[in-house]
Amino acid sequence: MHAKGMTMITPLLAIALVIEAVGSFCLITGYRSRTAATVMFFYLGIVSVRLHAFWSQSGNAAATNETEFFKNLGMMGCLPMISIYGPGLWALGEFEISSDLGKVGTRF
């Protein structure tokens, strides 16, 4: 990151760790997944443009960063869908037990 001209690397790495760990947990479990997907969408956009700028490199570095850039772009493609439509029926917090029949039902 220092080679990319960035300063305050340790706090930025700590923030990145929190966003990736908590965001991944939220997306996997479905808890606050809309918020997590929105935050991770913007985070991946910034990281992709700032750290994986393959268009300004050549050789193996360009090929590696191009792969990482398009990987992030692919992940960014699914995050708006989760932000808009939600995590689905099997997410934590989306279920409540129906007291009359003992069946699982949604809150919707």
The model's pLDDT over 24-80, given as tens digits with 9 standing for 90+, comes to: 999 999 888 999 999 999 999 999 998 888 888 788 888 888 898 999 999 999 999
pTM value?
Answer: 0.76
Give the three-state DSSP class for 97.
strand
Write down the domain spans for the chain: 2-106
Euclidean distance between the first and final Cα of the chain, in Å? 45
Rg value, the chain, Cα: 18
